[in-house]
Structure 1
């Protein structure tokens, strides 16, 4: 039952070229950066990735993207990554954009053994009707487009009928997630907003690998506090203090300090 690995490099060593990965995180929050860098170091390429976004320029999944290691991305938005946008528009990268809630549910459904589901999100748009550009050619033409999806009418809870579109579940070869705490059995606890796409990404992987800030013994975690059960997690790596502290801020905003009063100045 002890699922711990001595290093991130050992935990990802069998991930081959062309693997399909689910990766947790939202922006720069909850990103499994140490596992991503281990993949980068071992030279794994032609990766197909599903994640909310693709990091930022030079950090998170952006590090793999910068080195040309990713060939296809399923995401909900381009985000702040200019390299991601450039590679997509230049035809270097195939990108399937999916509504954010739909993406989360596709991952959750995959982990729950549900092959597909109907949702109202995307009905009446190119999400359902097809034609979204997945890949561009060097001349700016669209070379690969999304196919049309099945739609169906269902009775509405408010009376009458409503149209829904069929979305397929996502199951990946591997999943990489980041948690605040984990035990040797793989039970995970995520910290605040890091509990974003991490639980559903972890559910979707056939082999799920977790990096954790703190490793504890089985029984130390409150069962009611566990966000992802160990049945979904196959490998776990404890981060060093320096690795756990590598948490950049995506956007720094400031505001002018209020003018000091005359009394305060005296």
Structure 2
């Protein structure tokens, strides 16, 4: 399908994004911006931000929408990764950092220990930086989730990705109810932590199904929602069913605010970490006690 004008982005200019890429290469770090072929990489790198991808780049799941490599064998966790990530946060002078990961179903804790070490390393070198972790479902290991939350990230993000009817096709190793439970567990374990989730559209869902997912997320008191257009990374990935018009994204944003989300970021090019730093303003408007 030919992309409409509202999905076209200019290619990034090296002189504007090169500094970020140099830091990443110098510290041997992966980003979801690069590994997942994010269309906003030019804008974010130009602004001096990036979403760090830990424990990768190989993933233990084979989601047919995702461009992250699942064919390589996952490697042992690198004990130097947390410190290298913290150095990047310091060198890039990040006010807000997003740390995500591949799925590591091969690890008993799903990689929770590496998230904890990364949070601690960033806190040590850049204590004013707010931290958002975008985590996998940990195979329902809520003890591992509790340990991550004890490290006190300001934001706990876990993506819903799609509607329940499409889970078997889009996210075959995921579970819709488990995703909702993870967000609910987060609210119960750490009431002061802001919770966040994201969904893709354009895969064959209906407007009513999208609104039902939004209501389900509010049922578990999810604070922040991102909605973006699915884009096919390559011919071997799931095909786009529809390019959704920006007016519909605006309508979903309005509906989300109506049902009680503190923030809804909804546009064709929105991704989980798009303008994630805006949460700092949200935290000022809706402060929470972190115990």
Structure number with the higher helix fraction is 2
- Which has the bigger relative contact order, CA under 8 A and spacing at least 6? 1
TM (normalized to structure 1)?
Answer: 0.35
Higher strand share: 1
